[in-house]
Amino acid sequence: MESILVCSVEGGNEIRTIVCSNRMSNSVFKNLEVLHINNVLRLRSVCQGRIPHGSLAQLNSLTLTKCPELKKIFSDEIITESENLELKANALPRLKNLLLIDLPNLKSIWVDDSLEWPSLQRVQISECHMLKRLPFNDFSAAILRYVEGQQSWWEALEWQDDAFRQSLQSILHLQIAQPQVCM
C-alpha cells in the first residue's frame, strides 16, 4: 500500500470503514494523495481506531459522496497510540481539498477543532444536514480560501466563535440549487 497515490472506492456495499487499525504498527497509505469514495452505502467512517503516525500524511484531496450511513469521517484516535497531542494535531498536514456531498447522516469530520489544517484551501459541503459544526477555527485553517455549502446548512451551523463565522463570509459561496462537483 506504500506506493498507492490515488484510491477510488465506488459502490462497495459491505465496506464499513476504509482504514480500521486497532492492531497496526506501520503507517498506512503514507503516499496516498487522493481518496475518492462514492456510493458506499454502509460506510460509517473513513478511519477508525488508532492509526500509526505518518498514515495519510500526503493526502491532499478527500472526496466523499453518497454514503448514507457515514456518521464520522475520522475518529478522535486517528493518529498514533502516543498521547502526543502535537502528532494528533498534525494528522492531515497536506489536505487541501475536502468535498462532502450527499452524506445525510454525517455528524462529524473531526471530534473538535483541535486539528491543524495547515494546507486546507477548499471545502465544499452539500446535502450534509446533520453536520452542525466545522472542525476548524481561524487559527487551525489559516489559509482556507473557499467554502461552499447550502444556505440552509450554513445558517444551521453551530459556532463557538462568531468572529470566525464572520471571517469566512468573504470566501463563502452559498448554493441554492444542486451542487456542481468540481475539483
Inter-CA distances, 115 with 54, 58, 139, Å: 15, 16, 10
Inter-CA distances, 180 with 97, 123, 148, 150, Å: 15, 13, 10, 12
Q: Count of CB atoms within 10 A of residue 132's CB? A: 13
Quickly state the pLDDT bin for 159 (edges 50, 70, 90): confident
Q: Name the E strands within the chain.
A: 6-10, 17-20, 34-38, 45-48, 61-65, 97-101, 122-126, 146-150, 172-175
pLDDT digits (tens, 9 = 90+) for 48-81: 777 777 888 899 999 999 999 999 887 655 544 4
pLDDT at 62: 96
Average pLDDT rounded to a whole number, residues 76-99? 65
pLDDT at position 153 over 80: yes
The pTM score is 0.86
Cα 162 from Cα 169, distance rounded (Å): 11
pLDDT at 64: 97
